[in-house]
Amino acid sequence: MRAAQGQGFRRAVSPLELFFDLVFVFALTQLSHHLLVHPTWRGAAETAVLLIAVFGTWAFTSFEATLLDIDRPRTRLTVLIVMGLGLFMNAAISRAFTTAAWCFVAPLLVIMLGVQALAALTGPSAELRLHYARSLVWTGASAVLWVAGAAQDAGARLPWWGAAAVVDLAGTLLAHPLAGRVIRSGDLPFDSEHMLERLRLFLILLLGETVLTAGATMAQAAFDPPTVTASAGVFVALVCLWAAYFGGGEDVVAVHVATTSDPIRSVRWGINATYGALAGLVALSVGNELIISHPLHHGSPTVALLLFGGPALYLVSQAWYYHATTGHAWAERLAACAACAGAAAVAPLLPRLAALALLDVILLVTAAALARVHRRLADALKAGSAGSPA
């Protein structure tokens, strides 16, 4: 169903788009498993590199499906092809740095280069075609590094792929600039509300996958009081992270995107923030598994970093987004990040259940504070929009 919306149309999220998302939610499980098996700084760096590549393919494909209309047969075929390639790419995550480098890189590059080339040729406006032509330059530069890394021995692969991930991430953060090629995104036709809904639903799926991972760990653990207590504490933390955004925060974002003069920029910033949110959920998922599996073990620096660093990444990425878009509802998130940092410093001295209880207290206070802030901010933005001249 379509309704007139600015320069384009307002489209509902299609079942195919949700079907497509499941392949990339599967990647969250694979990324978490990789970090669980390699709980070192190198393992964290490898996980970050893989995460940037995986989420980049989701973001580019979803953005293009919004741009070129998911109801068109060519766009639907593109999404299905990317979905199939993404399934193979994500299945190779756990072996990408050992024996399956090409199984990861080949689908990645076909997706990234193919999706952007299609948009550069068939975009609905000259400005958008120019934008994708610029992004192809950036992706071509990173492709050289991805291929060079895949050709290296396993031990030498990380620097090459790390450099490729930096190029890809910088391109996304900066909107793929090229000298002498300036595009005003506020003038481009784009269904920003549709893409915002895509991000919203994807975040729900990511949170749901984190819950499922915790549930799978619970199913394999003993049903004794410590395990039940740890499982309950993990569930409380995940509900609080859900509430930190969906407890009114989505209303603030929706009103902002509907009233801003440059909604594409706001959506792009939302995509950028999701990188941090996804990284935080991966870290927390691993921390949850360690605590549920061994609730009576004493704390350690690794568990503390995962348990408190995950929520901190999730919240700081949102703080950056709210600061960049509305200028509000960010200080409370940064305060929670500071509290997580302080708790992480003492958590290695505490039993794991005590550290989890401390996290729950921080997140419960944060969720309650944000619920009030979001209500006031959404009302203020709506009032400001109603008072603005047509």
Residues 153 and 236 in one domain: no
Q: Which residue has tokens 């941090």? A: 276
Which sign, positive or negative, has the C-alpha torsion 368, 369, 371, 372?
positive
Residue 173 covered by a domain: yes
- Of the three residues 143, 166, 187, the one that is the final residue of a domain is 187
Does any domain span residue 9? no
Residues 177, 212: one domain?
no
What confidence score (pLDDT) does residue 381 get? 77
Q: Percent of the chain, pLDDT > 90?
A: 68
**Are 237 and 93 members of one domain?**
no
Phi and psi dihedrals of 178, rounded to 5? -135, 145
Q: Domain end: 145, 165, 187, which one?
A: 187
Q: What is the pLDDT of residues 68-89, one digit of tens each?
A: 888 889 889 999 999 999 999 9
Residue 328 predicted with pLDDT over 50 = yes
Same domain, 220 and 351: yes
Let me know whether 115 and 215 are in one domain: no
Domains identified in the chain, total number? 2
Is residue 76 situated within a structural domain?
yes
Please check whether residues 96 and 129 belong to one and the same domain: yes
pLDDT tens digits for range 291-319: 999 999 988 999 999 999 999 999 999 99
Host domain of residue 358: 192-387
DSSP letter for each residue of 249-282: HHHHHHHHHHH-S-HHHHHHHHHHHHHHHHHHHH
What are the tens digits of pLDDT across the range 170-217? 988 888 887 765 556 555 667 888 888 999 999 999 999 999 999 999
Q: What is the mean pLDDT of residues 273-296?
A: 96
> Does residue 238 sit in the same domain as residue 274?
yes
| Greater pLDDT, 47 or 299 | 47
pLDDT on residue 183: 59
- pTM, to two decimals: 0.91
Nearest residue to 142 (alpha-carbon basis) of 269, 246, 49, 19: 49
Whether residues 26 and 170 share a domain: the answer is: yes
Q: Based on the domain organization, do 238 and 366 belong to the same domain? A: yes
**Domain-located, residue 369:** yes
**Does 1 fall in a domain?**
no
- Helices 352-387, 301-325: crossing angle, 10 deg rounding: 0
Rounded-to-integer distance, Cα 289 and Cα 29, Å: 12
Looking at the fold, whether 213 and 351 belong to one and the same domain comes out as yes
Residues 176 and 215 reside in one and the same domain: no
CA angle 24, 216, 50 (to 5 degrees): 30
- Examine the domain organization and report whether 183 and 207 are in the same domain: no
Distances (CA, A) of 335 to 248, 315, 331, 369, 370: 19, 10, 6, 11, 11
313 lies in some domain: yes
Express each pLDDT in 110-142 by its tens digit: 999 998 898 888 877 777 788 888 889 999 999
Which of 187, 207, 226 is the last residue in one of the domains?
Answer: 187
